[in-house]
Amino acid sequence: MKITVDEEKCCGAGQCVLIAPEVFDQRDEDGIVVVLEPEPPHDQHALTREAAAVCPAAAIQVHDTP
C-alpha cells in the first residue's frame, strides 16, 4: 500500500491523525497533513483505509501495490 496526499485539498480536520496516528501527522505551523509512513505496514492498512475514507476533503489517496 502506498499513500499520497493532496496538501492543497487538506482542510486540517485531523481525522487521519485521530484514526491512524502512526501513519499521519499534522504540521505544527498550519495543521496540514503530513505522511509519516508513505508505505504503511500491514497492521496499519485498515486504519489507513478508514482515515482515507472519512477525510472530509478527500485529500488522502490509498494505492494498492502488489
Q: 27-55: b or e for each residue (b if 16 or more CB lie within 10 Å)? A: eeeeebbebeeeebeeebeebbbebbeeb
**Under rule CB under 8 A, residue 14 binds another protein:** yes
Query: Binding string, 33-52, against another protein, x = CB under 8 A?
Result: ----------------xx--
Q: How far is the CB of 5 from another protein (least distance, A)?
A: 15
Position among 2, 6, 36, 53 found at the interface with another protein (CB under 8 A): 53
Query: Vertex 17, ends 31 and 22: CA angle to 5°?
Result: 125
Residues lying near another protein in the complex (CB under 8 A) are found at: 9, 11-15, 17-18, 21, 25-32, 49-50, 53-54, 56-58
